[in-house]
Structure 1
Amino acid sequence: MAPPPTAARPLRRAASVLHRRAGLRLALLLSAPMAWLVLAYLGSLAVLLLSAFWAVDDFTYDVERVWNTANFSTVLTEPVYRAIALRTLGIAVAVTVIDAVVAFPMAFYMARVARPRTRKLLVVAVLTPLWASYLVKAYAWRVIFSQGGVLDWLVGPLGLSSPGYGTTAVIVVLAYLWLPYMILPVYSGLENLPANLLDASADLGASAGRTFRSVVLPQVLPSVFAGSVFTFSLSLGDYVTVRIVGGKTQVLGTAIADNVTLNLPLAAALSCVPVVLIVGYLLAVRRTGALESL
């Protein structure tokens, strides 16, 4: 048998080394995505944090690279920014709670009641709204909440009227937009729930409510928190929906957008608020096992 060409020998030696060292092979495979993560994501966050310590010339509105903490002091001390931050946090919490309450019975029916064929159709039905354009769905809800719109037509005979554009409309639309992100993790958790636990609870004489509290909820709670990571973080940083159906409602996203042109360092300081809130929320739900359920 003829010996391999000289040019092929280094490649064979490199392949032999990679075959023997699994750690080195894994490091080379992950090097490109890790480099992208560090440069594009963590790098941009570092630049964002750095620019928050700069200042703006009051006359020309040019950014001056002068180290100061005035922007963070403004965000923390100005009542208007505290109110905006609390309003944004309240909207995110409300959307998460609504989605959890709505998603649980839907996911339970899909995972434990529906037949296998119907289950597949229901999963497709849950995923279908994600294939539609975000803007199309948001503007459809704008028509629904408009004066004389669909909602007015539905509740008018009852002597009621549409709440119009504002915080209520923002919560409803965001809850609709992010509902699939809550249904799917809860559905996965319920589908993996051992059936023998439910049978054992029934054999011991537990009622349906007691079975839900003592068996189902503790097993599925990590999946609920996993879904809440999506609904909470997406609601916290949303900007487009608030512009479309929010009316005069101000949230962190709109406050950041309003300051980007004239006061970029202040906008950067405001951008740090949702980042801190999301990181804090991730640390809070980590002990529940939610991150393992993602």
Structure 2
Amino acid sequence: MTTTAQGAPPASPAGGVRRRVAAGLHRHAGLRLSLLLSAPLAWLGVAYLGALAALFVTAFWGTDPFTGELVRVFTWANFRDLVTGEVYRTIALRSVGVAAAVTLIDLVVAFPMAFAMAKLASPRAQRWLVIAVLTPLWASYLVKAYAWRVMLGAEGLLGWGYGLTATVLTLAYLWLPYMILPIYAGLERLPGSMLDAAADLGARGGRVFRTVVWPLAFPAVVAGSVFTFSLSLGDYIAVKIVGGKSQLIGNVVYDNIGAANNLPFAAAVATVPVLIMLGYLAAARRTGALENL
């Protein structure tokens, strides 16, 4: 066996290739990042963007009125029915109103809770409070929704709220942690010295909130609102459980996939929340909040 002057065996060709590849990746950070992200980006493109593309294509198909079979012929009929049907416009506006109400309720409840967690609680208490906020997420969605039905049903403690009010309250409870945690993370980064300086300069609590706390916490509020708004806009289970005869966009999609067996129209309806969320994200981006997250 051939050895070097020091008695060590010669390096194998495979080892030399590995070293050259490692050295190349070390010199080119962009290439290294691209390789690391290639698998998740490929999964995103296939599973998520591919599904959205299939949804959009299906929305331009139709169904045979006699057999109910899918007809793969391009048509605008689904979108025409969606735009001209007053009932669908009402459902879309109702869905946006419910999502906005849930987001506003969660903001009002979450902000003082997040502020207390970030600025008033001790480090040990912060950990326990974060666990307390996360604990409801460990329970089943259906268990929590039916618990609210017990309270808000006709025979419940708050029977007056059964219907659309119950839907808003249930969704606000379900998505509250998604508003608390981003605001808490944003407020935790707020230097306490800024609050002390504002107080030393004579600013009252309201002015400190308007000029110091709110501007710095606004990106976190936007992040939380994206979660609560989008989750409420696409939900269809809660309204089935506690909403009575109320209908939201998600219910229309579900009903056309199931009982009506009209997949193309369901796909057309499903594009509505997608477009609404694109508009919501564009508006949030114009505020500059997303760039500061």
Per the alignment, in what secondary structure is the counterpart of residue 109 of structure 2?
helix
Question: CA, structure 1 residues 20+210, in 2 after alignment: closer, same or farther (shift >3 Å)?
Answer: closer
The CA deviation at 1:289 is 4.1
1:249 correspondence with 2:246:
yes
Contact 1:233 1:278 in 2 (8 A): yes
Aligned residues: 284
Match of 1:110 among 117, 128, 133: 117
The CA deviation at 1:174 is 0.3
Shifted more, 104-113 versus 11-20: the winner is 11-20
Match of 1:159 in 2: none
CA distance in 1, matches of 2:288, 2:131: 27
Shifted more, 13-22 versus 241-250: the winner is 13-22
The CA deviation at 1:219 is 1.4
The CA deviation at 1:210 is 1.4
Stretches of structure 2 that go unaligned for 5 or more consecutive residues are 1-7
CA distance in 2, matches of 1:228, 1:289: 15
RMSD of Structure 2 on Structure 1 (CA): 1.5
The CA deviation at 1:96 is 0.3
Deviations 1:173-223 (A, max 9, x none): 000000011111111122111222212221222211111112211111111
1:135 correspondence with 2:134:
no
Per the alignment, in what secondary structure is the counterpart of residue 112 of structure 1?
helix
Match of 2:64 among 51, 54, 57: 57
Match of 1:281 in 2: 280
Per the alignment, in what secondary structure is the counterpart of residue 24 of structure 1?
helix
Match of 1:266 in 2: 265
Contact 2:110 2:176 in 1 (8 A): yes
Match of 1:44 among 33, 38, 51: 51
Shifted more, 261-270 versus 13-22: the winner is 13-22
The CA deviation at 1:19 is 2.9
Deviations 1:141-160 (A, max 9, x none): 11111222233xxxxxxxxx
Contact 1:167 1:249 in 2 (8 A): yes
Contact 1:222 1:288 in 2 (8 A): no
Stretches of structure 1 that go unaligned for 5 or more consecutive residues are 152-161
The CA deviation at 1:29 is 1.4
Shifted more, 69-78 versus 7-16: the winner is 7-16
Question: CA, structure 1 residues 13+115, in 2 after alignment: closer, same or farther (shift >3 Å)?
Answer: closer
Contact 1:226 1:293 in 2 (8 A): no
Contact 2:154 2:162 in 1 (8 A): no
Match of 2:5 in 1: none
CA distance in 2, matches of 1:208, 1:65: 62
Paired AA for residue 210 in structure 2: R
Per the alignment, in what secondary structure is the counterpart of residue 235 of structure 2?
coil
Per the alignment, in what secondary structure is the counterpart of residue 163 of structure 1?
helix
Question: CA, structure 1 residues 292+179, in 2 after alignment: closer, same or farther (shift >3 Å)?
Answer: farther
Contact 1:257 1:267 in 2 (8 A): yes
- Structure 1 vs Structure 2: percent identity of aligned residues? 62
Matches within 5 A, 1:148-187: 148-151=155-158, 162-187=159-184
CA distance in 2, matches of 1:196, 1:147: 52
Paired AA for residue 242 in structure 1: V
The CA deviation at 1:43 is 0.6
The CA deviation at 1:81 is 0.4
Contact 1:54 1:265 in 2 (8 A): yes
CA distance in 2, matches of 1:193, 1:8: 50
Match of 2:218 in 1: 221
The CA deviation at 1:12 is 3.6
The CA deviation at 1:13 is 3.4
The CA deviation at 1:172 is 0.0
Deviations 1:36-74 (A, max 9, x none): 011110011001000100011111111111111111111
1:18 correspondence with 2:25:
yes
CA distance in 2, matches of 1:10, 1:119: 50
TM-score normalised by L of structure 1: 0.92
CA distance in 2, matches of 1:102, 1:289: 24
Shifted more, 7-16 versus 250-259: the winner is 7-16
Match of 2:201 in 1: 204
The CA deviation at 1:26 is 1.7
The CA deviation at 1:105 is 1.0
Contact 1:185 1:293 in 2 (8 A): no
The CA deviation at 1:164 is 4.4
CA distance in 1, matches of 2:21, 2:213: 52
Per the alignment, in what secondary structure is the counterpart of residue 68 of structure 1?
coil
